[in-house]
Amino acid sequence: MKHHIFLIIVAAFLSACGGKPNQIAETTTRGNIQVASDEAFKQMLDAELFIFQTEYKDAKVKAVYTSEGDALDLLMKDSVRFVVIARKLNDQEKKFFKDKDLNPKETLIAYDGLTFICNNSAMDTTLTFNQLKMLFAGKPITWKDLDPNGSSDTIRVVFDSPRSGNARFLRETFNLKELPSNCFASKSNEEAIKYVENNPNAIGVVSSNWISDPDDSLTQVFMDRVKVIGISSKADPDAMNGYLQPYQEYIADDSYPFKREIYIVNCEVGTRLGTGFASFIASDKGQRIVLKSGLLPAVVPVRFIEVSEDF
């Protein structure tokens, strides 16, 4: 009889606790969640995740790397807490979330530069903005058309995915409904780099995140395998004043012509782990990680210098 009474008391206690006596409440630094990102920003987000989870041992954040379009699909299906993409939500997407009584928070976290790369055998590693416009107009162009010493091979342009932010940004920049037939998609930024490495007639389009971190071993491998193309600015379409690569300083002063913004779009309800991780990325420490990864932080990290008054 006493045994039965004990079981009833335990059952009542477990019922009052939701049946999970060991469950720990989720906070901004504790829990288990999933987020998604355009694969273009994998290097940066991996670095943020490593430091965040090192500092907060009870935080488990899984990142899904996919295309911009697929990441947004996951957000709309409530499969992830937030996404990292290279744009804000459009009106149709905002309406979708509003109809579900959700108000996504959009946080600018960084800037990058869409980067053009070529094979190591290329004689010329510069393109004017007007030459790029001609290339994306779909006209067959050879390296010889751009440089008298170039080959007669027709140039092909490879990017990461048809639904990626890279592809969308190209369409918007050159006012295209679809990319022309001389452009095709691989499976990722890494695959695009590999294709350019093995095909002298190719030009690749990747995020500067993949070629900008001097301390990342993978970046160093890629930079040994391909060359970054210098591009003239929109204000100087025929390169009378030279060419620019997607370095932080040229992105910061808006002279690099393919600068874009990177956002976290957060649909988390309440203030939980997703909000905590997003706030970490936007914090001074998180912005220093953005800077170290080779991108331009949205907020320039503050550096405090102690000045001695002893003269």
The verdict on 189 and 146 lying in the same domain is yes
The verdict on 44 and 118 lying in the same domain is no
**307 within some domain:** no
The verdict on 121 and 250 lying in the same domain is yes
pLDDT at position 221: 67
Contact between 230 and 244 (Cβ < 8 Å): yes
* Average model confidence (pLDDT) across the chain: 88
Average pLDDT of span 66-90 = 97
The verdict on 158 and 189 lying in the same domain is yes
pLDDT at position 15: 41
The verdict on 51 and 125 lying in the same domain is no
First-to-last CA distance in the chain? 86
Q: State how far the Cα of 282 lies from the Cα of 272, in Å rounded to an integer.
A: 16
Q: How many domains does the chain have?
A: 2
**203 within some domain:** yes
When pLDDT is cut at 50, 70 and 90, the band that residue 261 belongs to is: very high
**282 within some domain:** yes
**78 within some domain:** yes
**14 within some domain:** no
pLDDT at position 218: 61
pLDDT at position 189: 92
The verdict on 34 and 135 lying in the same domain is no
Q: For the full predicted model, state whether its pTM sits above 0.75.
A: yes
**303 within some domain:** no
What CATH number is given to the structural domain containing 153?
3.40.190.10
The verdict on 37 and 58 lying in the same domain is yes
The verdict on 120 and 227 lying in the same domain is yes
**201 within some domain:** yes
Say whether pLDDT at 54 is over 90.
yes
When pLDDT is cut at 50, 70 and 90, the band that residue 19 belongs to is: very low
pLDDT at position 152: 85
The verdict on 248 and 124 lying in the same domain is yes
Give residue-wise pLDDT tens across range 181-233. 999 999 999 999 999 999 999 999 999 988 876 666 666 666 788 999 999 99
The verdict on 94 and 203 lying in the same domain is no
Say whether pLDDT at 307 is over 50.
no
When pLDDT is cut at 50, 70 and 90, the band that residue 141 belongs to is: confident
Domain of 276 in residue numbering reads as 25-111+261-297
The verdict on 213 and 141 lying in the same domain is yes
When pLDDT is cut at 50, 70 and 90, the band that residue 138 belongs to is: confident
Higher pLDDT, 254 or 144: 254
**159 within some domain:** yes
How far is CA 255 from its chain centroid? 20
